[in-house]
Chains A and B, each alone.
Chain A
Amino acid sequence: MQAGVYFSVALHIAIAAAGIVVAPTLAAEPTPMVILPVELLTISDSTNVAPVIDVQPEAEIEEFAEEMAEPEPAPAAAPAEEAPEIIPTERAPDSETAPPKSEPKPAPPKEESFDDFLESALKSVKDNKPVRAASQKTAADLRNVEDAAPRKGVGDNVRMTMTVADAIRSQLLSRGCWADQDDMPDAKRLRTVIRIRFDRDGRLMGAPELREPGRLPSGDQPMQIFVQRAQRALDMCNKPRFTVPPEYYETSPAQWIDIEFTP
């Protein structure tokens, strides 16, 4: 009996051990071999990354370098009353005081150490600074940047609406383009809506469009005059131009604005 028990225990242990060893090999399928291309680099190549800068075209860099190197030209002598005919002659030599143009000479090739490389990289950063200054953006460029893709948050549309509306209203009133119309007969009933758009310079784009009333009532002279005054108000403030907040240009194409004129 006792021998049977030992035999059974030994048999279970043997089966369990066999399962542990054999079962994983039965379940797993063979995975295909993936070959990853690996390029071996020196450490300097992966750690000394050059800064991202706007690289000027080579020609512009040379031109800029020349401008920096050459002295200011001497002021020309006062012209005679009658300018003599200019006769082409041989090209005059450069001023003696002007330093000769220093042709950039390539350094003799030598074996480059890590320290040398680091120094040259830093130097390249310093050398690039004036190039960046020379390429400062104009106001127009800056506006283009702003126009590019501004991120909008919740309420931005409301803010823009308020800003643009206030700006237009304020200019029509403060510049005297639109004033109290109490002199009009039966002024309380008068009201007109004119639709406009602005171009990038703040000028009206195209002719203002009369929206309300749909067309001028031929027998209603006060209303005709009132609409005429509203159109004149836009013409007045359009000369030289409106000052339009940049928010207006966040949408493309330019949004329409309905201006309601009341006495």
Chain B
Amino acid sequence: MRNVHLFIVLLVTAFGAGVPAHAQLRVTVEGVNFQPMPIAVPDFDGASAPAKAVATQMADVIRADLAGSAIFRMIDQTAFIERDLDISLAPRFPDWTVIQAQALVVGNVVIDASGNMVTQFRLYDVFGSKELFAQQYTVPTTDNWRRVAHKVADDVYAQLTGEQGYFDSRIVFVSESGPVTDRRRRLAIMDQDGANAEHLLSGVNSVLTPRFSPSSQTIIYSAFVADARNPAITRLRVYLYDIETGRQEVLSEIERATNYAARFSPDGKSVVMSREKNGNSDIYAIELARRAETRLTTSPSVDTSPSYSPDGRSIVFTSDRGGSPQLYVMRADGGAMSCPNGGTETACRISFGEGNYTTPVWSPRGDWVAFTKQQSGRFFIGVIQPDGKGERLLTESYLDEGPTWSPNGRVISFFREAGPGAGPRLWSIDLTGRNLKRLPTPGDASDPAWSPLLR
């Protein structure tokens, strides 16, 4: 009899264990009111006085990167309860939860006898009381401390947002100086945070529309150059410029034709650009290895500002074939395609708003196209999906123009003239329309182009 009871008990227990708990209540929580994530980044520790000095500077850069993204809110160091953190010991999590830090970065710097700088850091989930990520970077000299700091910030960003960062990247732009009648436009480059700005060219020729290659080693740009036979005439040429060596070459030159608005393909093997000839602009692709050209549009209208999709299969460009400049998408080989609005065309129109839509740039993530819109004397920076849906205007001013995407497709940089006579300056804004801010440049600046993440 006892065995029978035992069997029944076991049977009931086993049945109960096999049945999943049934939730009696369901709560749906949708996020509202974006709030930056509070994060604590104490000064990194240093094994020696020089290491300590570098470590403190690195922490400053990391804090500036993360706070500058507006996705994070930096907790003031005076609020810290636990100090003198040791990277080899777990922090006292209650000391950080009480100041509402959701994440904590602890790091240290060691400079060894041969001058190598070793940077270690750990990222903690404070409320989960666990380590999320740990990494070590070794560089042969302390001169690279800023890049290491950007890399640490990128790691933290990636671990907490789920997408790659953009801090270890550079921006090439046109540095402007001088009076309006004699304006100097020089090719310049800087880190994305404005540090290490420098001119790449002397400024003899006026430069415009510089663009990075996918490797970040080469810049393609246009320049007004005096004709060799008749110096009184200036011609617009497209150049390839190698940042490391300073060597440059003309991409292509055709009699009685002008090339401009060139961009690299995502694989860096070819370039797409506009060519004006006999008053008509069309889009051409040039394979860099063989310099083989392919004409992609044959419309009698002005087709310009081509930009590849990140998979290299499509191109977005501006055309006035519909009466006013609007955005169009076509296949990278110029073939016919099915349009989102029905029908089969060689180019599908995706913008239908009033005003002029120009300078489209495909996002590195592929989900948006940024553009400049001009309407009623005002300029706007906006985004639209490649199928023409979801158009949003992010900025408005006297002159906003020339958008470029951060490597992660999260931030858009552009140049702005606040009013008549005000010089152009570089600005950036988040894809969501938040965090509009000015990028520091030594002087007036225009035509920014963001590099891919550095390697």
Contacts and interface: CB of A to CB of B under 8 A. Distances in A.
A239 B25 CA distance: 22
B28 A195 contact: no
B31 A255 contact: no
A183 B432 contact: yes
Contacts of B33: 179-180
Interface residues on A, range: 35 or more
B21 A195 contact: yes
A226 B21 contact: no
Contacts of A176: 35
Where chain B touches its partner, the secondary structure class is loop
Contacts of A161: 25
A263 B125 CA distance: 20
Interface string B341-374: 0000000000000000000000001010000000
A251 B24 contact: yes
Contact of A184 (B32, B125, B162, B367): B162
A262 B30 contact: yes
A183 B34 contact: yes
Nearest to A186: B367
Given A195-B21, A224-B162, A180 B32 contact: yes
B292 interface: no
B163 interface: yes
B22 interface: yes
Contacts of A172: 29
Contact of B29 (A178, A225, A228): A178
A179 B33 CA distance: 6
Given A235-B128, A257-B26, A173 B162 contact: no
Interface stretch (A28-36, A42-50, A162-170): A162-170
Contacts of A221: 158, 162-163
A241 interface: no
Interface string A144-166: 00000000000000000100110
Contacts of B102: 232, 236
B236 interface: no
B49 interface: no
Contacts of B159: 225
B43 to A, nearest CB: 25
Interface string B257-285: 00000000000000000000000000000
Interface string A215-237: 00000011111101001100110
Given A232-B102, A236-B127, A178 B25 contact: no
Contacts of B142: none
A231 B27 contact: no
Contacts of B408: 185
Contacts of B127: 232, 235-236, 239
A262 B29 CA distance: 6
A225 B128 CA distance: 13
B67 interface: no
Interface in B124-150: 125, 127-128, 132
Contact of B28 (A228, A255, A262): A262
B24 A225 contact: no
A165 B26 CA distance: 7
B376 interface: no
B142 to A, nearest CB: 32
Contact of A256 (B23, B29, B71, B365): B23
A165 B125 CA distance: 27
Interface size on B, as a range, is 20 to 34
B439 interface: no
B160 interface: yes
Contacts of A120: none
Contacts of B28: 169, 259-260, 262
A222 B158 CA distance: 9
B17 to A, nearest CB: 15
B216 interface: no
Contact of A258 (B23, B125, B132): B23
B161 interface: yes
Interface in B220-252: none
A182 interface: yes
B205 interface: no
B23 to A, nearest CB: 4
A249 interface: no
Nearest to A234: B127
Contacts of A235: 127-128
B125 A182 contact: no
B25 A258 contact: yes
B97 interface: yes
A258 B132 CA distance: 25
A178 B37 CA distance: 10
A239 B99 CA distance: 12
Nearest to A183: B71
B8 to A, nearest CB: 22
Contacts of A261: 29, 31
A259 B21 contact: no
Contacts of A263: 30-31
A190 to B, nearest CB: 9
Contacts of A257: 23-27
Contacts of B31: 173, 178-182, 261-263
B32 A179 contact: yes
A179 B21 CA distance: 29
Given A260-B28, A261-B29, A262-B28, A183 B161 contact: yes
A176 B34 CA distance: 9
B162 A168 contact: no
B23 A225 contact: no
A195 B408 CA distance: 33
A69 B102 CA distance: 57
5 contacts: A164-B25, A172-B29, A184-B162, A186-B367, A256-B21
Given A178-B29, A179-B32, A225-B162, 12 more contacts: A173-B29, A180-B32, A185-B163, A221-B158, A232-B102, A257-B23, A259-B26, A259-B29, A260-B26, A261-B29, A262-B29, A262-B31
